[in-house]
Amino acid sequence: MKCISKGIASLMCGVLLLSCCLTGCKSNGYSMEYDLNNSVSAYRFNDGDSGNRAEAFAQDLCVINGDVSVNSVDTSEAEAALLCSINDKEVLYGKNANEKLDPASLTKVMTAIVALKNGNLDDVLTASENVEISESGASLVGIKAGDTMTLDQALHALLMPSGNDAAVMIAEYIAGSEEAFVKLMNEEAAALGATNCHFMNSHGLTAEDHYVTAYDMYLIFNEAIQYDEFVQIITASEYSGVYHNAAGEPKELSFKSTNQFINGNHAVPDGVMVIGGKTGTTNAAGNCLVLLSKDSAGNPYISVIMKCSKRDYLYDEMYDLINMVNN
């Protein structure tokens, strides 16, 4: 399924012009009306702050409104899966891509976007008592109230070992509270056209009304990789540094990536380079992974798998999914 090109129209002729834009890759139009409440993000448009302008949702992005090539790869252990060619703006594989699912720590990709957009890497963050999360199974890097670290260090702690405490620390620094930060997350998602997701926290621990689709995860991740620092972090296999406690005493920050392709615990298909990605795991979300990969010619791809039953299946099925770029 091909992409849709960018187009802007007034609301009076928005439907007509958007129909033309949406048929840029095919001669026949889509029958689905454009609706901000549509279950498929790709068929929405945002009228913006002025109330009298409409912008086509897909600005040179991939679009999917149904399953694509679902029999070509076995993703039977996953609820949803997606493979998109960034350069060709083509969906190579799609399964339940518009189904709303718990994203677990894939949430942190949006957290990173909002942080990078609103903060500076050298900013010094101070942790409140809210970083000391007691929920069973929560991934933590051990940040305590009064600890200080740079935003750059906090982003490494957020994305590599998936520190939920780092997420809270970032959220409170950027917006003053996690509630205010979540509002920024949802506003940014809407601005990206990711209109089938909704966030309730900055870390991805299970919460009611906290969800994302595989397609919206593609949109969010596609925005995140526009930031060099984000790509640098998700590429790294390990990290170490020094931060400080409330008394100014040094504390060691050291961890490895949770991404099995990056830390060397799972093979990568021949002819494919995995640049990096983000993992997510909770009982509600199952096992999730979003990746940036390149083929032997250097062409980039984004792949998403959500709600896989086991971690081993997640990486086996992602292996088969990204191996499609060799076909």
Cβ(320)–Cβ(230) below 8 Å: no
pTM equals 0.84
Dihedral angle, C-alpha 99, 197, 221, 21, nearest 10 °: 80
Delimit the domains of the chain by residue range.
8-56, 66-327
The one-letter code for the residue type at 158 is L
Say how far apart CA 322 and CA 62 lie, in whole Å: 17
* Per-residue model confidence (pLDDT) at position 65: 86
Averaged pLDDT, 244-255: 96
Q: What is the pLDDT of residues 94-123, one digit of tens each?
A: 999 999 999 999 999 999 999 999 999 999
CATH of domain 66-327: 3.40.710.10
* Residue 8 pLDDT class (50, 70, 90 cuts): very low
Say how far apart CA 84 and CA 42 lie, in whole Å: 14
Residues known to be catalytic? 105, 108, 162
C-alpha distance from residue 18 to each of 4, 41, 45, 98, 192 (Å): 10, 14, 9, 21, 17
- β-sheet with 272-282: strand ranges across: 90-95, 78-85, 300-308, 286-295, 272-282
